[in-house]
């Protein structure tokens, strides 16, 4: 339900802070699939904070931080080609 509310007003940017942080693996996977599907459907820019490297790997761009500083940036192949 929270995802539906988040996309209801068709925001240009959606912030997701640890969207799977306290969820079991099955529920987390469902939420992530829905989040990425809605993101693609609505063309929203998704800014997500996560400690989950597998989840981060699905994103177009990943910024890594340590001690409050950005230490690296990586781009997926699809983002590099865009």
The C-alpha atoms of residue 58 and residue 75 are separated, in whole angstroms, by 10
Terminal alpha carbon distance of the chain: 32
Residue the block writes with tokens 């409050």: 68
* Tens of pLDDT, residues 5-35: 888 888 899 999 999 888 999 999 999 999 9
pTM to 2 decimal places: 0.77
The C-alpha atoms of residue 70 and residue 57 are separated, in whole angstroms, by 17
Angle in degrees, CA 73, 35, 52, rounded to 5: 45
Q: State the pLDDT at residue 82.
A: 52
């Amino acid at each position: 339900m929270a995802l539906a509310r988040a996309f209801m007003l068709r925001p240009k940017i959606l912030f997701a802070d640890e969207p799977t942080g306290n969820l079991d693996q099955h529920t987390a996977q469902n939420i992530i699939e829905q989040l990425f599907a809605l993101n693609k459907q609505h063309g929203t820019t998704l800014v997500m904070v996560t400690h989950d490297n597998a989840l981060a790997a699905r994103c177009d761009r990943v910024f890594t931080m340590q001690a409050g500083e950005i230490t690296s940036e990586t781009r997926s192949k699809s983002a590099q080609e865009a």
